């Protein structure tokens, strides 16, 4: 539970300025403010500040004697309890994050599986379409070959007709020299 600078100063029996000094040197991620803009000290920040403030206190306690040693051990017990609470908080946060990551991994695994199934279905459809196109292509090739042979037959028929037409050349009189000229019969539909 976050504390104010005054509460922590009273608890550690140091001045507010000392706590404020250490608080300002904390990383920004460990600094908090409440809705009114008051500086609040989180458990992590409290632990860091306690460590910094406790070092001079331990040195002072050793100099003054054994009376304060019992207070220091009390403070150490409080510090240990605070650290244990913080460790439990961090473990619960870690467990929540891991559970979230597990759900995300499961979701992504399902998406990859769906993608692979969709890909397989698409490949199967493509194969069916390719086989169908090849089948149609084979039929078209066969029809084309049939049409080509029919076209050759038609060409042969037209060739015979042209031979017959050449045979129908009419003699059209003689010219001045007495040479006879041959001219084909011309009809209007043959000009196009």
CA–centroid distance for 157 within its chain: 67
* pLDDT over 90 (residue 126): yes
Q: Give the mean model confidence (pLDDT) for residues 89-95.
A: 93
Mean pLDDT of the chain: 78
pLDDT per position as a tens digit, 101-117:
999 999 999 999 999 99
Rank 45-49, 88-92, 136-140, 158-162 by mean pLDDT and report only the highest.
88-92
pLDDT band (50, 70, 90) for residue 170: very low
pLDDT for res 30:
76
pLDDT per position as a tens digit, 56-78:
655 555 555 555 545 578 888 88
pLDDT for res 35:
83
For the chain, the three-class secondary structure string (H helix, E strand, C coil) is: CCEEHHHHHHHHCCCHHHHHHHHHCCCHHHEEECCCCCEEECHHHHHHHHHHHHHHHHHHHHHHCCHHHHHHHHHHHHHHHHHHHHHHHHHHHHHHHHHHHHHHHHHHHHHHHHHHHHHHHHHHHHHHHHHHHHHHHHHHHHHHHHHHHHHHHHHHHHHHHHHHHHHCCEEEEECCCCCEEEECCCCHHHCC
Rank 72-81, 86-95, 141-150, 167-176 by mean pLDDT and report only the highest.
86-95
Q: Give the mean model confidence (pLDDT) for residues 168-187.
A: 52
Best CA proximity match to 72, nearest among 64, 183, 25, 37 = 64
């Amino acid at each position: 539970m976050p504390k104010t600078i005054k509460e922590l100063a009273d608890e550690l029996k140091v001045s507010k300025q000392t706590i404020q000094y250490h608080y300002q040197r904390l990383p920004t991620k460990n600094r908090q403010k409440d809705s009114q803009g008051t500086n609040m000290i989180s458990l992590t920040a409290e632990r860091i500040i306690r460590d910094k403030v406790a070092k001079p206190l331990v040195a002072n306690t050793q100099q003054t004697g054994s009376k304060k040693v019992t207070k220091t051990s009390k403070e150490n017990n409080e510090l240990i309890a605070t650290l244990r609470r913080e460790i439990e908080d961090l473990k619960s946060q870690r467990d929540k994050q891991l559970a979230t990551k597990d759900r995300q991994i499961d979701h992504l695994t399902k998406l990859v599986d769906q993608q692979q199934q969709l890909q397989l279905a698409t490949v199967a459809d493509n194969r069916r379409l390719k086989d169908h196109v090849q089948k149609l292509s084979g039929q078209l090739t066969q029809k084309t070959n049939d049409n080509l042979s029919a076209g050759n037959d038609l060409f042969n028929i037209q060739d015979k007709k042209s031979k017959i037409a050449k045979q129908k050349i009419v003699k059209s009189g003689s010219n001045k020299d007495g040479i006879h000229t041959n001219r084909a019969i011309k009809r209007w539909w043959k000009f196009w």
